Structure 1
Amino acid sequence: MEKYMETDLRYLKSLANQYPTVAAAATEIINLQAILSLPKGTEHFITDIHGEYDQFQHVIRNGSGAIKRKIEEEFGNAISAGEKKVIATLIYYPEQKLEQVLKTEENMEDWYKVSLYRLIRICKSASSKYTRSKVRKALPKDFAYVIEELLTGRPDVSDQEAYYNEIIRSVIRTGRAPELVIAFCNLIRRLVVDHLHVVGDIFDRGPYPNLIMDTLMQHHSVDIQWGNHDIYWMGAAAGSRPCICNAIRISAKYGNLNLLEDGYGINLVPLARLAMSRYDKDPCTCFKLDYREDEYDVRDAMLDEKMHKAITVIQFKLEGQMIMRHPEFGMDERLLLDKINIEKGTVCVEGKEYPMKDLNFPTIDWKHPYELSSEEEDVMERITQAFLNCEKLQRHVRFLFTQGSLYKVYNGNLLYHGCVPMNEDGTFTRVNVYGKEYSGKALYDVLENYARKGYYAIDPGEKKKGLDILWFIWENQNSPVFGKAKMTTFERYFIADTATHQEPKNPYYRLLEEEEVVNRILSEFGLEGAEAHIINGHIPVEAKRGESPVKCGGKLLIIDGGFSKAYQPKTGIAGYTLIYNSYGLVLAAHEPFESVEKAVQDGSDIASHTILVQHVVRRKLVADTDIGRELRASIRDLEALLQAYRDGILVEKI
Structure 2
Amino acid sequence: MDINKKYLTLLAKEYPTIGETTTEIINLEAIMNLPKGTEHFLSDIHGEYDAFQHVLRNGSGNIKEKINEIFIDRLSQKEMKMLATLIYYPEEKIRNILEDFDNQTEIDEWYRITLSRLIELCVFVASKYTRSKVRKALPNEFAYIIEELLSKDNSFANKEDYYSKIIQSILSLDRAPEFITAISYLIQRLVVDHLHVVGDIYDRGPYPDKIMDTLIDHHSVDIQWGNHDILWMGAASGSAVCIANVLRISARYDNLEIIEDAYGISLRQLLTFAEMTYPEDYAHGFYPKIDAERSDFYEEEIRQITKMHQAIAVIQFKLEGVIIKRQPDFKLEHRMVLDMIDYEKGTITIKGKSYPLTNTYFPTIDPADPYKLSKEEEFIVDKLVYAFKHSERLQKHISYLYNKGHMYLKYNDNLLFHGCVPLNEDGSFMELQIRDKQYKGKALLDKFEEILRKGYLTRNKENKEKHLDLIWYLWTGPASSLFGKDQMTTFERYYIEDKETHVEKKNAYYSMRNDVATCEKILVEFGLDPAKGHIINGHTPVKEKRGEDPIKAEGRMLVIDGGFSKAYQDTTGLAGYTLLYNSYGMQLVSHQPFTSLKNAVENEFDIMSTRRVVDRELDRKKVRETDIGRRLTKQVTDLKELLEAYQNGEILEQPRK
CA distance in structure 2 between the aligned counterparts of 1:389 and 1:447, rounded to whole angstroms: 25
Residue 297 of structure 2 is aligned to residue 332 of structure 1? no
Partner of 1:262: 261
Residue 299 of structure 2 is aligned to residue 303 of structure 1? no
- SS of the equivalent of 1:353 reads strand
Partner of 2:77: 81
Partner of 2:400: 399
Do 1:41 and 1:581's aligned partners in 2 also have CA atoms closer than 8 Å? yes
Displacement of 1:8: 1.4
Partner of 2:111: 112
Partner of 2:38: 42
CA distance in structure 2 between the aligned counterparts of 1:75 and 1:179, rounded to whole angstroms: 24
Do 1:542 and 1:561's aligned partners in 2 also have CA atoms closer than 8 Å? no
Partner of 2:590: 589
Amino acid at match of 1:113: R
Post-superposition Cα deviations, 1:397-441, rounded to whole Å, max 9, x if no partner, equal 001000001100101111011111001111111111222111111
Runs of at least 5 residues in structure 1 that lack an aligned partner in the other structure: none
CA distance in structure 2 between the aligned counterparts of 1:529 and 1:623, rounded to whole angstroms: 20
CA distance in structure 1 between the aligned counterparts of 2:280 and 2:603, rounded to whole angstroms: 50
CA distance in structure 1 between the aligned counterparts of 2:649 and 2:611, rounded to whole angstroms: 59
Residue 60 of structure 2 is aligned to residue 64 of structure 1? yes
Partner of 1:191: 190
- SS of the equivalent of 1:239 reads coil
Partner of 2:652: 651
Partner of 2:291: 292
Do 2:524 and 2:530's aligned partners in 1 also have CA atoms closer than 8 Å? no
Do 1:455 and 1:463's aligned partners in 2 also have CA atoms closer than 8 Å? no
Partner of 1:232: 231
Amino acid at match of 1:297: F
Do 1:561 and 1:573's aligned partners in 2 also have CA atoms closer than 8 Å? no
Displacement of 1:599: 1.0
Displacement of 1:561: 5.2
Post-superposition Cα deviations, 1:296-351, rounded to whole Å, max 9, x if no partner, equal 51321111100000000000000000111000011010001011101111111122
Do 1:411 and 1:626's aligned partners in 2 also have CA atoms closer than 8 Å? yes
Do 2:224 and 2:409's aligned partners in 1 also have CA atoms closer than 8 Å? yes
Q: Which stretch of structure 1 is more off in the superposition, 311-320 or 508-517?
A: 508-517
Aligned pair count reads 650
Do 2:45 and 2:562's aligned partners in 1 also have CA atoms closer than 8 Å? no
Amino acid at match of 1:87: L
Partner of 1:12: 8
Q: Which stretch of structure 1 is more off in the superposition, 340-349 or 243-252?
A: 340-349
CA distance in structure 2 between the aligned counterparts of 1:283 and 1:94, rounded to whole angstroms: 51
Displacement of 1:638: 0.9
Displacement of 1:29: 0.6
The two structures, once aligned, show a CA RMSD in angstroms of 1.2
Structure 1 segment 450-599 matched on structure 2, within 5 A? 450-457=451-458, 460=461, 463-560=464-561, 562-599=563-600
Displacement of 1:568: 0.4
Do 1:475 and 1:486's aligned partners in 2 also have CA atoms closer than 8 Å? yes
Do 2:234 and 2:456's aligned partners in 1 also have CA atoms closer than 8 Å? yes
Displacement of 1:612: 3.7
Partner of 1:98: 94
Query: CA, structure 1 residues 338+421, in 2 after alignment: closer, same or farther (shift >3 Å)?
Result: same
CA distance in structure 2 between the aligned counterparts of 1:475 and 1:543, rounded to whole angstroms: 27
- SS of the equivalent of 2:285 reads helix
Post-superposition Cα deviations, 1:30-87, rounded to whole Å, max 9, x if no partner, equal 0000000000100000101111111000000000010001101111211111110011
CA distance in structure 1 between the aligned counterparts of 2:620 and 2:206, rounded to whole angstroms: 41
Amino acid at match of 2:424: N
Q: Which stretch of structure 1 is more off in the superposition, 612-621 or 172-181?
A: 612-621
Partner of 1:52: 48
Q: Which stretch of structure 1 is more off in the superposition, 182-191 or 610-619?
A: 610-619
Post-superposition Cα deviations, 1:258-306, rounded to whole Å, max 9, x if no partner, equal 1111111110001001101111354311211112143351321111100
Amino acid at match of 1:429: M
CA distance in structure 2 between the aligned counterparts of 1:78 and 1:292, rounded to whole angstroms: 43
CA distance in structure 1 between the aligned counterparts of 2:549 and 2:562, rounded to whole angstroms: 10
- SS of the equivalent of 2:257 reads helix
State the identity as a percent: 52
Q: Which stretch of structure 1 is more off in the superposition, 208-217 or 276-285?
A: 276-285
Displacement of 1:458: 7.3
- SS of the equivalent of 1:606 reads coil
Structure 1 stretches of at least 4 aligned residues deviating more than 6 Å after TM superposition: none
Do 1:454 and 1:462's aligned partners in 2 also have CA atoms closer than 8 Å? no
- SS of the equivalent of 1:580 reads strand
- SS of the equivalent of 1:589 reads strand
CA distance in structure 2 between the aligned counterparts of 1:511 and 1:458, rounded to whole angstroms: 38
TM-score (norm 1): 0.98
CA distance in structure 2 between the aligned counterparts of 1:564 and 1:612, rounded to whole angstroms: 25
- SS of the equivalent of 1:477 reads coil
Displacement of 1:171: 1.1
Q: Which stretch of structure 1 is more off in the superposition, 266-275 or 603-612?
A: 603-612
Query: CA, structure 1 residues 245+459, in 2 after alignment: closer, same or farther (shift >3 Å)?
Result: closer
Runs of at least 5 residues in structure 2 that lack an aligned partner in the other structure: none
Residue 145 of structure 2 is aligned to residue 146 of structure 1? yes
Amino acid at match of 2:298: V
Displacement of 1:577: 0.6
Do 2:282 and 2:361's aligned partners in 1 also have CA atoms closer than 8 Å? no
- SS of the equivalent of 2:81 reads helix
